[in-house]
């Protein structure tokens, strides 16, 4: 290995890929760059990223992008128009509202659901899992019993029951999905923690005299994080689908909110003659959750070279 005589220009490729970084930042950026390179080799993953960036963009600029008012329709004149008619690119629904505009505004709801569920469920799962895995003993037993109970519940039924109990609405749907989606994270985090728990590098940290909380927080959690991120990303699709399923059963977002699942549900009535009313939001869901899946898949390969077999 030759030692570079002249240090590479900061932020250049060489600088990032240098195997003797000279600062913490360079090391961190270098690592990120390597992951990015591995990730970006995967075309499908890039496609997924693109889809999600597009989703973010659409959500951010929904007001500008939407050609019509998503909530006010023209019942009398513009009901159930086919795609393309009268400037309604994707047609109109049974209230005479522009489907495209509703889809555009609905992206916000989708993002909201996804982000909130991730923000609620993932940390809960991570904490429960790592604590339980690291502590072992009765802490583990109690936490895992609770996890088991939630796992044994039929997911959608529990979500249904919760929404029925709390009343329909997007917030409650989010809560219900979050309540049903943390146990798998806890399981993963626990399993991973258990493999690390007896590993030598954790033993080494213990030998430094680190307290259990420090070990869990600073050493175990970061390790579980990448597989958790992958899992959460992959689960996003499932979350979107569950939210849509709740919406479909009428328990998600209330009308007139343009939630995609609820849009399918209301479009379902016209599927025979006006297929687009139900088909369009379905495509939107498919594309976005495919985006998340592609991204998660790419992340898995990039973050976990073993899984990708590289």
Partner 1 sequence: MAISDTNATLRHGESRARRRGLAILGFLLTVATTFLGLLAVTFFIGRVVPIDPALAIVGDRAPAHVVERVRLELGLHLPLYQQFWIYLKQALSGDFGTSVLTTNPVLTDIKRVFPATIELATVGTIIGAVLGVPLGVLAAVKRGSIIDQIVRVIGLVGYSVPIFWLGLLALLLFYAKLNWVAYPGRVDIVYEYSFTPVTGFFILDAAMQRQWDVLWDLFRHIILPGSLLGYFSLAYISRMTRSFMLNELSQEYIVAARAKGLSEARIIWFHALRNAAVPLVTVIALSYAGLLEGSVLTETIFAWPGLGLYITNSLQNADMNAVLGGTVVIGSVFVGINLLSDLLYRTLDPRTRSR
Partner 2 sequence: MTTALSVRDMTVVYNGFAALDRVSVDVSHGESFGIVGESGSGKSTLLRAVTGLTCFQEGSLTVDGRSYDGRKRDTSFYRTVQMVFQDPYGSLHPRQTVDRLLLEPLVIHGFDEVDRRIARALDEVGLGSGFRFRYSHQLSGGQRQRVAVARALIVEPKILLLDEPTSALDASIQAEILNLLEQARRDRHLTFIMVSHDLGVISHMCERVAVMKAGEVVETVPVEALERREFSQDYTRRLLTASEGFRRD
Partner 3 sequence: ATPADTLVQGWAFDDIITLDPAEAFEISTAEVTANTYNKLVGLDLNDTSKVVGELADSWTVSDDGLTYTFKLKPGLTFASGNPITAEDVAFSFERAVKLDKSPAFLLTQFGLTGDNVTEKAKAADESTFVLTVDKPYAPSFVLNVLTSTVASVVDKKLVMENAQPVTPSEDYKYDSDFGNAFLKTGYAGSGPFKLREWRANEVVVLERNDNYFGEKAPLARVIYRHMKESAGQRLALENGDIDVARNLEPGDIQAISDKEGLDTTSAPKGTIYYFSLNQKNENLAKPEVVEAFKYLVDYDAIGETLIKGIGTIHQTFLPAGQLGASNDTPYSLNVEKAKELLAKAGLADGFSVTMDVRNTQPVTGIAENVQQTLAQAGIKLEIIPGDGKQTLTKYRARQHDIYIGQWGSDYFDPNSNAETFTYNADNSDEGTNKTLAWRNAWDPQDLTEKTQAALLEKDSDKRAAIYEELQKEVLERGPFVIIFQQTEVAGYSDKLKNYKLGPSFDTNFLHSVSKE
Each residue 257-286 as x (binds partner 3 by CB under 8 A) or -, in order, gives ---------x-xxxxxxx------------
Question: CB-wise, 75 or 161, nearer to partner 1?
Answer: 161
The 3-state DSSP class for residue 206 equals helix
Q: Which of residues 61-90 bind partner 3 (CB under 8 A)?
A: 71-73, 75-76, 79-80
Binding residue for partner 3 (CB under 8 A) from 46, 250, 290, 308? 250
Binding residue for partner 1 (CB under 8 A) from 1, 165, 207, 208? 165
H or E segment at 215? none
Q: What is the length of the chain?
A: 310
User: Which residues, other chains included, contact 91 with Cβ-Cβ below 8 Å and sequence gap of 6+?
Assistant: 80, 81, 82, 83, 84, 85, 99, 274, 276, 277, 280
Residue 43 binding partner 3, by CB under 8 A: no
Beta strands in 1-102 (DSSP E): none
Each residue 176-215 as x (binds partner 2 by CB under 8 A) or -, in order, gives -----------------------xxx-xxxxxxxx---x-
The answer to whether 160 touches 246, Cβ cutoff 8 Å, is yes
Rounded distance between C-alpha atoms, residue 69 and residue 93, angstroms: 13
Q: Which residues pair with 98 in a beta bridge?
A: 92
Rounded distance between C-alpha atoms, residue 264 and residue 202, angstroms: 50
Q: Which residues pair with 230 in a beta bridge?
A: none
Q: Which of residues 157-176 bind partner 3 (CB under 8 A)?
A: 164, 167-169
Nearest distance in Å: CB 250, partner 3: 4
The answer to whether 79 touches 95, Cβ cutoff 8 Å, is yes
Rounded distance between C-alpha atoms, residue 230 and residue 300, angstroms: 6
Q: Which of residues 180-239 bind partner 1 (CB under 8 A)?
A: 234, 237-238
Interaction site with partner 3 (CB under 8 A): 71-73, 75-76, 79-80, 94-95, 164, 167-169, 250, 254-256, 266, 268-274
Residue numbers of the site for partner 2 (CB under 8 A)?
A: 3, 19-24, 26-27, 31, 199-201, 203-210, 214, 218-219, 222-223
């Amino acid at each position: 290995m030759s030692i570079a005589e002249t240090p590479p220009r900061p932020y250049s490729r060489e600088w990032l890929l240098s195997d003797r970084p000279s600062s913490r930042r360079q090391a961190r950026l270098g690592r990120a760059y390597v992951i990015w390179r591995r990730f970006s080799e995967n075309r499908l993953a890039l496609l997924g990223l693109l889809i999600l960036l597009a989703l973010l963009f659409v959500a951010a600029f929904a007001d500008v992008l939407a050609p019509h008012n998503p909530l006010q329709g023209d019942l009398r004149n513009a009901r159930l128009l086919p795609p393309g008619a009268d400037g309604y690119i994707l047609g109109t629904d049974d209230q005479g509202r522009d489907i495209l505009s509703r889809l555009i505004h609905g992206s916000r709801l989708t993002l909201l659901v996804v982000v909130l569920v991730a923000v609620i469920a993932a940390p809960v799962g991570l904490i429960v899992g790592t604590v339980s895995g690291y502590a072992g003993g009765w802490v583990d037993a109690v936490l895992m019993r609770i996890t088991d109970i939630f796992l044994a519940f039929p997911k959608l039924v529990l979500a249904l029951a919760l929404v029925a109990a709390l009343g329909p609405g997007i917030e409650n749907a989010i809560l219900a999905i979050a309540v049903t989606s943390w146990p798998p994270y806890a399981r993963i985090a626990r399993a991973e923690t258990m493999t690390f728990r007896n590993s030598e590098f954790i033993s080494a940290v213990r030998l430094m005299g680190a307290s259990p909380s420090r070990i869990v927080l600073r050493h175990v959690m970061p390790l579980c994080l990448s597989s958790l991120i992958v899992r959460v990303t992959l689960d996003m699709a499932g979350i979107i689908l569950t939210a849509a399923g709740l919406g479909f059963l009428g328990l998600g977002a209330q009308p007139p909110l343009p939630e995609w699942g609820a849009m399918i549900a209301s479009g379902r009535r016209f599927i025979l003659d006006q297929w687009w009313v139900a088909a369009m939001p379905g495509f939107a869901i498919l594309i976005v959750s495919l985006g998340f899946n592609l991204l998660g898949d790419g992340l898995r390969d990039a973050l976990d070279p073993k899984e990708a077999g590289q």
